[in-house]
Structure 1
Amino acid sequence: AELRLLGLLAGSGAVLILGLVDDVRGLGAGVKLTVQVAAAVTLWSCGWRIESVDLAGLGPGSLGALSLPLTVGWIVFVTNAFNLIDGLDGLACGVALTSTLAMCFILGPEYTFARISAIALAGALLGFLWFNFNPALIFMG
């Protein structure tokens, strides 16, 4: 559990620093992609993995060797998707809030920590959204 927390802090910290440096100095796409992939691999190495998928009607299926590329791809995809939709006031925050609330209802009872974390994130997003609506007083990044 401690390794997972350290991995989460390291991976998200790397992306945070990347965003700050990019805002101040501007970075090329190659540098940003490299740091995002490295952060995603760090998360995967520390146990934050997509290891199986549950396809409707087929039941759960193990990803095996596809776990690493699918996990890294998903993390990089979602990171860049939010970056792209952040230009319209309230959009990125609204999408994050909607998906976070959906997670609260979709996750089973065995995911107590994830549900509590999602509820806390939803509260933070609501507070942020209040100031991010048009005309936005604050921006995601």
Structure 2
Amino acid sequence: MKSVQQRSVVRWGLYLALLTSAACKSANVGTAKEDFQEFYQRFLTDSLFQMERVQFPLPGERVSADGEDTDYQWTKDEWIMLKEFDLDSTQFKRDLQVTDTLVTDEIYTPGAGFYFKMVYEPIKRKWYLVYLVDQSL
């Protein structure tokens, strides 16, 4: 016969497993049904669409007033619409990596203190901006 302590440990283990399983299913993260490039063009040109497709409060990183990187959460009230960057390829570099489950878009100037990163994930089969890094000094 198992001790009360052993049963309690097993019960808690099952409880945690159920919670983890439910959390994964409720996130609805998977592959996107919509084309990322079509989403991206609309996201950068349609302000209402952009507000619908940002997961607020949006986690990320931002350079503080003293020049230190800090964790940050953008809110709807303070959001400034993201627009397409006009990249001068002699000054800016871009690294865009697109998969079915994750897109990272990094724009930076090597050695000049500018780094901007956007991370998109499909939620309920639609693309959303889920993380932002703004390190522009």
Greater share of residues in helix? 1
Which TM-score applies when normalising by structure 2?
Answer: 0.30
Which TM-score applies when normalising by structure 1?
Answer: 0.29
Greater share of residues in strand? 2
Structure label with greater radius of gyration:
2
Indicate the structure whose relative CO is greater, using CA pairs within 8 Å and at least 6 residues apart: 2
